[in-house]
């Protein structure tokens, strides 16, 4: 077999284009001429390398498609999660230079920033909210949920339907990781939480039948969310 025929056959096998007959022919050629094994191995290495890497070089000059508009929000969320909400202000602060930064600090901006940081820290520690009716807590007595059961979460109690409904329907704020609430009407525990890249997932779990069971269920959910 001449060099061209051998290279053609070998490449056909490597590219998955060969028939069974051609594969056997290559095996026979390599057995009959062991010196060609090295030639084949070199071709295979070049083939494997370029078939894996060449598509990446092609991607370097890609001009389309455009970023889908509906994916922009999750990217914005990822930026906010990484840099914090004051990203835009950082630009203005650095652009105005040291002098204005110092003036801002002496003018009380530092105190404001400190207060903002404290508020952020407060909320970031409480980024899971658990909502339920105050009457449920009273009825449950010792078995009902207390702030000590869910130290990682902020417990919100409601006395009326309207504010509770409003809280449930509000989208998660930037500092919130999740919110959880009991739906006694349908015997469900609703969990709204963020997953990777700011995606928000809503889950509804069957509610435990007893008050103590519900307390343990909420504790478990909060612990899982915290992880």
Pick the closer one to another protein by CB: 54 or 111: 54
Nearest to 43 by CA among 15, 19, 11, 5: 11
| Smallest gap from residue 20 Cβ to another protein (A) | 15
Pick the closer one to another protein by CB: 139 or 197: 197
DSSP, residue by residue, 118-179 = HHHHHHHHT-EEEEEEHHHHHHHGGGS--TTT-TTEEEEEESSHHHHHHHHHSPPPTT--EE
| Smallest gap from residue 111 Cβ to another protein (A) | 23
- Contact residues toward another protein (CB under 8 A) are 4, 7-12, 15, 17, 42-43, 45-60, 62-68, 71-72, 74-76, 78-80, 82-84, 87-88, 90-91, 94, 196-197
Pick the closer one to another protein by CB: 49 or 173: 49
8 Å CB contact between 150 and 179:
no
Pick the closer one to another protein by CB: 54 or 143: 54
| Smallest gap from residue 88 Cβ to another protein (A) | 5
| Smallest gap from residue 42 Cβ to another protein (A) | 7
User: What angle, rounded to 10 degrees, do the helices at 20-32 and 36-59 form?
Assistant: 130
Angle at the Cα of 205 from the Cα atoms of 202 and 208, rounded to 5 degrees: 150
127 backbone dihedrals φ, ψ, rounded to 5°: -80, 0
């Amino acid at each position: 077999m001449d060099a061209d025929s051998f290279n053609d056959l070998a490449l056909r096998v490597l590219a998955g284009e060969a028939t069974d007959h051609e594969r056997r022919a290559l095996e026979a050629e390599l057995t009959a001429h062991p010196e060609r094994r090295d030639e084949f191995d070199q071709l295979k290495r070049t083939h494997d390398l370029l078939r894996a890497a060449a598509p990446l070089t092609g991607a370097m000059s890609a001009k389309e498609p455009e970023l889908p508009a509906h994916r922009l929000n999750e990217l914005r969320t990822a930026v906010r999660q990484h840099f914090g909400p004051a990203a835009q202000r950082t630009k203005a602060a650095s652009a105005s230079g040291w002098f204005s930064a110092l003036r801002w600090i002496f003018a009380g901006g530092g105190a404001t920033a400190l207060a903002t940081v404290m508020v952020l820290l407060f909320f970031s520690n409480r980024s899971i909210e658990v909502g339920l009716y105050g009457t449920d807590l009273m009825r449950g007595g010792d078995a009902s949920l207390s702030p000590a059961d869910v130290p990682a979460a902020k417990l919100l109690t409601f006395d009326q339907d309207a504010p509770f409904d409003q809280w449930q329907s509000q989208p998660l704020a930037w500092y919130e990781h999740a919110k959880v609430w009991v739906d006694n009407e349908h015997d469900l525990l609703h969990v709204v939480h963020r997953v990777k890249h700011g995606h928000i997932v809503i889950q509804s779990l069957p509610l435990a039948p007893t008050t103590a069971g519900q307390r343990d269920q909420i504790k478990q959910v909060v612990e899982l969310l915290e992880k």
